[in-house]
Amino acid sequence: MLVKIKTGANLSGAEQEFVECLRSYPTTGVALVGLEVGENGSRRVDAVILTPRGITVIDIKGFQRRQSGILNIPGDGPWTISAEPADLDEEISGNPVDQLEHSVHAVKTRLERALVDPGHICGAVVLMPFRGVAVRPARTNLRPGMDIIVANVRDATELRIYLEGFSAGPRSWTADRVVATCAALGATEKPFRAELLADGFDEVQPKAPSLSAREMRQHAIPAPLPPSRRQTAAGWAVFAVALVGMVVVLIVITSSLAHDSAHPAREPDTSTTSVTPSPPPYHPIECWPLQQNC
């Protein structure tokens, strides 16, 4: 990995250890160490690392003495190692995660003002303990897109894994884009284009790889297998049962129609069997003079 240090930068012991780690990596990338960004260079950024897949801002923290144990990172409050305050090499005012977030914002703003597309910028706090001291963070993710890593020259595996995988995007950072980014960040020591190409950066952004014939065959939907004898017999049995059922239904319908035609429906009988009553026999009544009802 290429490492470019700002001219006249005064590096701490932890930053020098970090630079030594980066120079031993065969990974493609360039690290700008000791940058000054923000309004008129008001914010110092420990390091900005660019790889073919992305950009990340690094905040480096060292220790004043040998401390080992589990690093506890509360949301608000001092960091502790095995219930003791973390004795970092510089006095920190506020939360180190907030400082990293401000640095990421300053780098992004600087690039946007220079009309350079920064894309998604990640960030990481890198702790550089004394050699031979084991420090393990209780959690590695601080906030979305921000991680914490513990490394030194003897044990820099976690840092190397982070730099090779912090961004899962395509190889969109070409040599020309890296040169423009370094100029926009005000790096006094900038990598040359030929130097970046020799380190592994692409000259032009590669196209998305198309599927090969073999991969297309692997992704093709396989043809259905021919039915077994048992499946074939079961299918014929279901067909025979359905056919018999249809024949039975037709026989029932035919017999019902034949019965209706042989016995036509009779017309309803409108005559009545009731007898009309005859009037009572007439008996003359003899009427006398002045007799009522006569």
Q: What is the pLDDT of residues 52-105, one digit of tens each?
A: 999 999 999 999 899 889 988 887 778 889 888 888 887 666 678 888 999 999
Residue 188: count of CB within 10 angstroms of its CB: 15
Residue 148: which of 106, 108, 95, 107 has the closest Cα?
95
Q: What are phi and psi of 77, to 5 degrees?
A: 140, 175
Map residue 157 onto helix, strand or coil: helix
DSSP single-letter state for residue 11: -
Torsion of CA 109, 115, 118, 119, to 10 degrees: 120
Residue in this structure with the two tokens 């589990």, named with its chain if needed: 70
Supply the pTM of this predicted model.
0.68
Q: What are phi and psi of 61, to 5 degrees?
A: -130, 130
- Asked whether 63 and 88 are in contact (CB, 8 A), the reply is yes
| Beta bridge partners of residue 143, listed in sequence order | 146
Average pLDDT over residues 141-169: 85
Q: Provide the pLDDT for residue 75.
A: 73
Structure tokens that stand for 55 in this block: 């950009």
Q: Provide the pLDDT for residue 100.
A: 92
Query: d(Cα 72, Cα 139) in Å, to the nearest integer?
Result: 8
Q: How far is CA 98 from CA 71, 137, 192, 247, in A?
A: 18, 18, 34, 83
At 216-270, the pLDDT tens digits run 666 666 666 677 788 788 888 888 888 888 888 888 888 888 777 766 655 555 5
Structure tokens that stand for 234 in this block: 């079961």
Q: How many CA atoms lie within 13 A of 46 on its CB side?
A: 25
What is the strand order of the sheet 121-128 is part of? 2-5, 30-37, 43-51, 54-62, 121-128, 146-150, 141-143
Q: What are phi and psi of 230, to 5 degrees?
A: -65, -40
Q: Provide the pLDDT for residue 291.
A: 62
